[in-house]
Chain A
Amino acid sequence: MIQEMMLQPTIRDAALPGGATGFPSPAEDYLHRALNLNDHLAPRPLSTFFIEVKGDAMAAEKIFDGDILVVDRAADIQPGQIVLAVYAGEFLLRKFVRLEGRYWLIADAGRDPVEVTEACEIWGRVMWSLTRL
């Protein structure tokens, strides 16, 4: 219950009743805030962090050296998604996959897959990778 409360978006004003003040503007019904990239990339700002990528071992997933990752710690993880994990005291940027009933973290470029066990913690889900063109 409380979890739902917490994960709800915080913008609820539209539903709030309240008397309007001042002159009504004919454009009022059509007013909207200008687009804000934060709303789009990080709808949950509290649990979202920006992290820089070093190296090209995830190039097959279109994540390149120097990219900025948008990582959400609170997002649910599904197989096939890219995650930031912690294993043996190091961050690992990997693809989370399911193979024969077991879960693995894999990268391309000849890195050993790591099985997801107690010894491995998912830090967050990579929601976006921002590449400068």
Chain B
Amino acid sequence: MNAIALIDANNFYCSCERVFNPKLWNRPVVVLSNNDGCVVSRSNEAKALGIRMAVPAFQIEEIIARHGVHVFSSNYELYGDLSNRMMDLLEEASGEVERYSIDEAFVRLEARDYSQLEAIGREIRRQVRRQLGIPVSVGIAETKTLAKVAAHHAKTLPELDGVFNLTETPYLRDAALRRTPIGEVWGIGPRGSALLEKHKLRTAFDLAGVDDGWIRAKLHVTGLRVVHELRGISCLALDDAPSPKKCIASTRSFGEMVETKEDLRAALGLFVTRAGEKLRKEGMAAGAITVFLRTNRFSRRGGELYSASTTLSVAPMSNVTTELQKLAFQALDEIFVEGLQYKKAGVYLSDLRPAENLSQRLWDNDQHERLRALMERIDQVNHRFGRETVQCGAFKSDGKWRMKLTNRSPRCTTRWDELLQVKA
């Protein structure tokens, strides 16, 4: 039988910090965004102290001092490298992997029966923990939307021990759906859930039971798709994701191998354009951008599997395509290797924050505003006349923005001069 698993790293940034710093084990840890000092990742111990997501650090100073909470600035190079290792490990386990965000991937699994599916899920969890030191939750189901629900429960219910398999078990599925508030259903969004709650639909279980015609009238075909997915009818293929909240990805496997940097630049430019559109549609701005490249697993010539990614901070945060493209090209310069045949590339935007409450940009505010206004017009034109009527051109990179790095851990997997040191 065939199923989809969502592999979701637990408290990913905090878990990355812990791999190389045993002092943080079993201690409360938070990671802050570099731009505005808001909490972007919390260990379970930090959650238990009542520290909420996205709260500015200055508001929790007292809790930090009283409980000895370990506080870090984001170390995106480290998180990006461990993410890339995790994704490569998953690609070795399954030929079909959709990198959904820096810390989540959908994986196609094939197994003889229910218990073998579960065993594979457990083995994936064990291998990621053993090889990388990162704890993950695994949700297994017939559809992506159900896999999301399963992974959420795998993460929050300790008795499941990190793996929840909802395939072929209607009673488990119904129980899980009853425990899932409508606002947490993947692909519904805040507006949709407000509307559904008005009609007394409070859980994913309620939503799965609605009439097809009714949901179609209310939430169009996307809403109908969610309902079908909750019933176990797969409507979303891998690489076909509804708009996420944490991260926006734009990736693609190339039809033909790509070899030159110019071609990759063109592809990445387009990916950033796509991702930028999505970003602005959601009213968000990004604090980090990841670029990844990989060659074919089975490339006949050259032999070597090359897979690399790099993550750069977007400082100040931005949703302007040209600014994001500049960083994407800079990332490409770092990881591009001449003479290989590239099969797949992509861009993720993460550390997303609503664009309207960004902290003030310290300089080039005018230029940014002009660019932002331009972006809005481009989006309008493209919306009216079809995609990519107007595109942003490539930029030459002229110097990097440096962000404030107060308490960043060493970039010990990407810089020789920042290696982890141990006492003999």
Contacts and interface: CB of A to CB of B under 8 A. Distances in A.
Task: Verify that A and B bind, or say they do not.
Answer: yes
Interface of A: 2-3, 5-6, 8, 10-14, 16, 18, 33, 44, 46-47, 49-59, 63, 65, 68-69, 73-74, 84, 86, 89-93, 107, 123
Contacts of B422: 51-54, 69, 84, 91-93
Interface string B408-421: 00001100100111
A11 B419 contact: no
B304 interface: yes
B303 A33 contact: yes
A59 B93 CA distance: 40
B194 interface: no
B141 to A, nearest CB: 19
Interface stretch (B127-135, B255-263, B394-402): B127-135
Which of under 10, 10 to 19, 20 to 34, or 35 or more describes the interface residues of B? 20 to 34
B303 to A, nearest CB: 5
Given A8-B92, A13-B298, A73-B132, A55 B424 contact: yes
Q: DSSP class of B's interface residues: helix, strand, loop or mixed?
A: mixed
A5 B92 contact: yes
Contact of A12 (B22, B298, B301, B419): B298
A114 to B, nearest CB: 14
A31 B305 CA distance: 17
A33 B89 CA distance: 24
B109 to A, nearest CB: 9
Contacts of A90: 22-23
A11 B303 CA distance: 7
Contacts of A93: 422-424
B127 A55 contact: no
Contact of B88 (A13, A46, A51, A54): A46
Given A46-B92, A89-B23, A91-B422, 5 more contacts: A2-B123, A6-B93, A54-B423, A86-B25, A89-B25
B297 interface: yes
